[in-house]
Amino acid sequence: MMLGLFAAAAVASTAAMAVGSSDGAQTTDPTERARIEQIVHDYILSHPEILPQAMERLKDKRMAEAVNTHRKELETPYAGAWEGAKDGDVTLVEFFDYNCGYCRASLPDITKLIAEDAKVKVVYRELPILSEESTLAARVSLLAAEQGKYTAFHKALYGGGRVSRDSILAAAAKVGIDRKAAETAITSNRYDPEIEANLKMAQEIGASGTPTFVVGGRVLGGAVGYEALKEAVASARSASK
């Protein structure tokens, strides 16, 4: 509500400042300014539905600014934690948790997007926020990224049901990761700085859960579906031209 009032005040102030005198100069007359602000005030009271729209636009603007500030960090993958076009013209970043059902449901959408768009690059960022097992999975996932087996492990673990220590080790073995190395990664804090950096980035851009997708200047929350991802990539591609 406070954000809505702030947005309304900003609209009123901007409208008043934008009104010029007959010679084109901006007016500073207090009476005229007060009149315009009252008009905007009355309009907002008559059309309260514009407040959610104003808040949403303000939120999107702030997210876009945060994304642009952290774009290099966001789009630079950890080792091999990416798939698609190596030098893609658009990068889609996914913050995910291996125990997130919506992340699992989004996997076919990402696979389809990569199959149908030869110029898109997908960067995966571990965001283990749902359980302790999520953190264990993220550690082994980053080990897989170092060994060039990230995508294979990623899909094997998602295909193995609910994440547990056993399913993590089974997925690692399936893609050829040495069991001892996987067990060491599970208990090691070696990969925690990367995970903590992801958590910080997610907070900076306003991500509220998993999955969160970042493409261009947009942040999409939840299992938005193939068409939404495709549209976001197309929009980012168009904006970069």
Mean pLDDT for each 10-residue chunk of the chain (241 residues)?
A: 46 47 57 85 78 65 75 97 97 98 97 98 98 97 98 96 95 98 97 97 93 95 98 95 78
Domain ranges of the chain: 2-48, 72-239
- CA–chain centroid gap for 207, Å, is 6
Token duo for residue 7: 């947005």
* CATH 1.10.3720.10 fits domain 72-239: no
Give residue 147's pLDDT. 98
Query: What are the contacts of 131-134 at 24+ separation with CB within 8 A?
Result: 131/99, 131/163, 133/98, 133/99, 133/163, 133/164, 133/165, 133/168, 134/97, 134/98, 134/99, 134/163
pLDDT digit string, tens, across residues 36-81: 888 888 877 787 776 677 666 656 667 668 678 989 999 999 999 9
Amino acid at site 197:
A
Nearest to 93 by CA among 199, 212, 222: 212
In this structure, how many other beta carbons lie within 10 angstroms of the beta carbon of residue 240? 9
Dist CA 106 CA 126 (whole Å): 15
Give residue 44's pLDDT. 78
Token duo for residue 135: 């953190």
The b/e string for 200-209 (b: 16+ C-beta within 10 A; e otherwise) is ebbeebebeb
Report helix angle 101-116 to 150-158, nearest 10.
130
Q: Would you say the C-alpha torsion 110, 114, 120, 123 has a positive or negative sign?
A: positive
Give residue 49's pLDDT. 79
